[in-house]
Amino acid sequence: MTAIPMSAPRPTGAASRPDRFGRALLVGAALEALLLGSLLWAGSNTPPRPVSPGRKIIAVHLLRPAPPRPTPSPPAPKPVMRHPLPEPAAQPVPVPTPVPAPAPKLLFATSPAPTAPSFTLPPAIPTPPAQPPPANPAARVRALDLYAVLVRTRVQANLRVPQTIRLMRLSGRTEVAFELQPDGLLIWARIERSSGIGTIDRAALHTVKTTEYPPFTKNMAKLATTFDIEVHISGRRAS
């Protein structure tokens, strides 16, 4: 059998406690001395702090101001006694002094005496010119025919074909009756025989009314005369 060596036994119990306690006391004393030295060194190097005076608390009470005293009203004005003004004295009315009328003076006429009025004969009334002898009936008829041809020529020359007739290529003949005064003034005009187309009739009547006519010739009777003319209107050719 192999022998196992045995280690020395460690002290236990009350024998090891006094040794630990003594060490703890030494460590505590060393820490206390170190702390006391650091406090002394810090106290010697730190400047003293200024001591601020204590704050005083003052109580403030708000008081409502007294209402203002009412302003005394001004005293009433004293009545002023006005004395009536004296009435002006009546002024005497001046009496006009009568002026004597001047004595009449004798006037002598210096103008010559009026003469008897002279009588002037009225101017002689000129006698009307002698009327030409009346033309014979044959000359009147010939003059009327020539005038009718002149009137027909003027009406046909004054004719203006409306655009409607040109576009529709209408044509027709209308007989128009009208009366003229001896100075050539138109009295009235009407359609005597219609062409059957209202547009052509209206154009013919308008042409007769707008034409200017010459006065009657010397061989014509100086009386209003009626004429009948035939107006030809065609839209197929220029009039």
Show me where the domains of the chain are located: 137-234
Instruction: Report pLDDT for 96.
Output: 73
With residue 227 as reference, give the H or E element that holds it: strand 225-234
Confirm if 151 and 213 have CB atoms less than 8 A apart: yes
What is the spatial distance between Cα 25 and Cα 20, in angstroms, rounded to a whole number? 9
What is the spatial distance between Cα 194 and Cα 177, in angstroms, rounded to a whole number? 11
Give the list of residues 6+ apart from residue 214 with CB closer than 8 angstroms, or none: 150, 184
How far, rounded to the nearest angstrom, does the alpha carbon of residue 144 sit from its chain's CA centroid? 67
How far, rounded to the nearest angstrom, does the alpha carbon of residue 130 sit from its chain's CA centroid? 73
Fold of the domain spanning 137-234:
3.30.1150
Q: What is the pLDDT along the chain (239 residues), one digit of tens a residue?
A: 444 444 444 544 444 555 677 787 888 888 888 888 777 777 666 555 655 555 656 665 556 666 677 777 777 766 666 656 666 666 777 777 777 777 666 555 555 555 666 656 666 676 665 555 556 888 899 999 999 999 999 999 999 999 999 999 999 999 999 999 999 999 999 999 999 999 999 999 999 999 999 999 999 999 999 999 999 999 875 54
Give the list of residues 6+ apart from residue 113 with CB closer than 8 angstroms, or none: none
Q: Considering the entire predicted model, what is its pTM? A: 0.44
Closest CA to 218 of 128, 129, 135, 130: 135
